[in-house]
Structure 1
Amino acid sequence: MNFSFLDNWRKRHDGADGTPLDSAVGEPEGVAELLSECELLRARAGQDGLELDDSPASLEALDQLPPRWRDDPEELPWLGNDAGLYLGTVIVRTVPGAIWHIWPGGHPVVRLASGREIQVVEAGLDWAATGAPELSQVYAEAAEA
């Protein structure tokens, strides 16, 4: 999924040689802040009385929410995208050595200290559409790596 809001940021920070944007270079706090907003997910969780605090426990709580968003085919991909970005935010903030890595074209992934990359947006989209994999499961696998 492309993130058009990253276009202007990328124009100012992307390497001239076309190498992937890596949050370990440049402004990692700005990238992390931008990707952690997840406004739609936070709003929907709040409607169910869940405040997302960027903790692994909040991922478990999200897994337990009734999937009302599946009734709205227009909202589902946006909520899934937010769920993936939120998953990535929790991983980056709590798993030592995990960083955001943005590929050209705006595709964010989380890179673990081992070098393994987690396709968090795809995991979020799958979770929103089918409930699997659970966000807490993806987190647990990342934390073990």
Structure 2
Amino acid sequence: MNIPFLDNWLKRREPGPVTSPLAEALDRDPVGVGELLAECELLRARADRSGVALDDTPRSLQELDQLPPRWRDDPEELPWVGNDAGLYLGTVIVRNVPGARWHVWPDSGPVVRLASGREIQVVEAGLDWAMTGSPELSQVYAEASEH
């Protein structure tokens, strides 16, 4: 029996690299994607209301660590603040640690890859920080800057 769509479905494709649109964009325009990841609009608005200037420096991470975690009172906002905190942490690392750069895995999203090859799951760290306060963002930065 000849069923064209089934024939196509059964044909094996040559294995190739799996990429995501974000990974492809990062390859084409690393500066532009870095700027996009650095937006962190919700976190920046929260920090601004609390008098903390997010200037992409390690000191700003210390100041974020000192903010009262009022976002924990809103279960809908919590993951967004955590995601932004992770992206902001990654931005600070990429902009201040020599050789650090963004890398995107198709199945797990953006990470920061250090010059040593070590990868930091910054979004995961940001979510943990937003939910529990640990690890502190400044601590993650300090560990990244040592490698």
Task: Using structure 1 for the length normalisation, give the TM-score.
Answer: 0.85
Letter paired with 2:35: E
Letter paired with 1:17: P
Structure 1: gaps of 5 or more residues: 1-15
Counterpart selection for 1:108 from 110, 122, 127:
110
2:90–2:122 contact (8 Å) kept in structure 1: yes
Q: d(CA) in 2 for partners of 1:26 and 1:116?
A: 23
Q: Which has the higher contact order (CA 8 A, sep 6+)?
A: 1
Q: d(CA) in 2 for partners of 1:63 and 1:28?
A: 28
Tell me the matched-pair count: 130
CA RMSD of aligned residues (A): 1.7
Residues 3-54 of structure 1: CA distance to partner in whole angstroms, max 9, x if unpaired? xxxxxxxxxxxxx732573787321101101100000000000110111000
2:26–2:33 contact (8 Å) kept in structure 1: no
Instruction: Determine the structure 2 residue equivalent to 1:18.
Output: 18
Identity percentage of aligned residues: 74
Letter paired with 1:74: E
Instruction: Look at both structures and tell me which one has the larger radius of gyration over its CA atoms.
Output: 2
Instruction: Determine the structure 1 residue equivalent to 2:12.
Output: none
Q: d(CA) in 2 for partners of 1:140 and 1:87?
A: 11
Counterpart selection for 2:51 from 37, 49, 52:
49
Instruction: Determine the structure 2 residue equivalent to 1:91.
Output: 93
Instruction: Determine the structure 2 residue equivalent to 1:140.
Output: 142
Q: Which runs of 4+ in 1 moved over 6 A?
A: none
Q: d(CA) in 2 for partners of 1:129 and 1:112?
A: 25
Structure 2: gaps of 5 or more residues: 1-15
